[in-house]
Chains A and B, each alone.
Chain A
């Protein structure tokens, strides 16, 4: 095992896959000469050259549309959308083209396409640049939506995504890039569509993913000091959603808190809670709690922004509600 940041994990996955398969190339805004606005592709342009690390105009529909077309020819493009907020400018191409074309044409071709992007708030970027719209994209059959929370998963899942023949939206988190963690040595992949128990405990199940995994672990540490043992299930992939580890954990603890960064309405928590009510009703000992972003456009002011975002204290409070 070696200890690296999420940024290094993603960068390594990209680098290794480009070395492994010449059909893999990167396109996006500032991915080349700049080295990526989050420095994920630093050094790639000099090593792989301008044909494989392609700087694009600021034109999101063109980026995703071109990546779709290239994937239809047998290339394996990794398109970068600088942030998920700009994905709305490419919404049609993500949810209405990438997610539909294979099915609609009777399975005549595959779309081995990865769309890497960055979501999340907490950096005082104001409402337009701070979205966590993951649930919107997870709504669409035909797309796979992956959102890792650790360096190990970031690297392993991105490698799986690049090797996959399906279109995948790979959502990174702006405030996770510096987070460090252990990753296995050498080449490994992590399966898409598999949730994982990241921490074992017997009292309450927390279901979460991405940045909120970090927040939930901190909350679990605090609660452990009071003798409350938390089990954390990390969804890792939102579509296809793997509920099996959630059910297994919940059937042991009978109490659940779902923690997500996006808004509560029509969110990931709504989906997970409903599945628990539908399929594990007999095991419920307390009303399921949801921790999520307050329903405002995220404000610029730091104190207000943090007030709107889910905090460790919110998770602790929710856990105590279900006990």
Chain B
């Protein structure tokens, strides 16, 4: 990789972190409604994974989607405007935090019913096969989603039909407040793929270069027409499941331990230690992100709300 590529990975992770920290503040000020699930701690997963994708590859994920949206190339201001429910939001203020999509960028959403987007992902891949499109479908979900029937129906179908899907499990150890140990028959989610004859691997999820390497390998397999692959990342979220989570289910020491491998911190250190970049480069990125977040907030706050007369728009394509 070139220096600029390293810096870009760093930039994307910092941007996600700062956008979300800002969003948490706006939530506390009552400017963001509904649920707000922060990705903070997991930035290396989506950033590394999606750095390996091609534009023709479709991306679909669950409700913890701000980071994925940014990694797909959606400008921070359109993410922020959606969080504020504005008409300039990426989903025109109809979706909110959990439902962001930009089909121009091949990002097919943020889906908020746990596991329900997995059969849809199989369908995206089916459509591409049927239409002879190039590209694969990258479907991200949490460990919690692997205990619901949709996961199993979708994995089975993807194998039966040999669909080009990369199943990506972000195992952050908790489905809401219930740990993997308490909710799943197996602790390593990748084992579940074995039952469907789907090749799989488990990778480190805090190191963006590791997530990228694992993704490149998995995507190569799927692109070659070998059918689906399941890639599990071991990761951790530093914030609660959503805002207002009392976090009675885990100890402060556990969070502290995982913070020692903060994806941004370790990558920052790595880039300097390996002399890939200089501190001035990183500072410049930090400044650029700060400016961008400020601009995003200004853009979102000054954008109009959707017009009342647009309430019924887009329920149907035809009257």
Give chain A's interface residues, CB within 8 Å of chain B: 23, 25, 51, 54, 56-57, 59, 61-62, 64-75, 77, 92-93, 96-97, 101-111, 141-142, 144, 164-166, 193, 240
Contacts and interface: CB of A to CB of B under 8 A. Distances in A.
Nearest to B109: A105
Contacts of B108: 72
Nearest to B95: A104
Contacts of A165: 317-318
A67 B121 CA distance: 10
A144 B316 contact: yes
B10 to A, nearest CB: 30
A96 B121 contact: no
B240 to A, nearest CB: 24
5 contacts: A59-B156, A71-B123, A74-B127, A105-B95, A166-B318
Contacts of B140: none
Name the residue among A25, A104, A107 with the largest chain B CB count within 10 angstroms: A104
Contacts, number: 142
B242 to A, nearest CB: 18
Interface residues of B, number: 46
A92 B94 CA distance: 19
Interface string B219-250: 00000000000000000000000000000000
B318 A74 contact: no
Interface of B: 89-95, 99, 101-103, 108-109, 111, 113, 116-128, 130-131, 133, 149-150, 153-154, 156-157, 160-161, 313-319
Nearest to A106: B92
Contact of B109 (A51, A59, A71, A101): A101
B314 A103 contact: yes
A141 B95 contact: no
B94 A104 contact: yes
Contacts of B121: 69
Given A66-B119, A70-B127, A97-B116, A105 B157 contact: no
Nearest to A51: B130
B88 to A, nearest CB: 11
A62 B154 contact: yes
B7 to A, nearest CB: 31
Contact of B125 (A69, A96, A101, A109): A69
A109 B131 contact: no
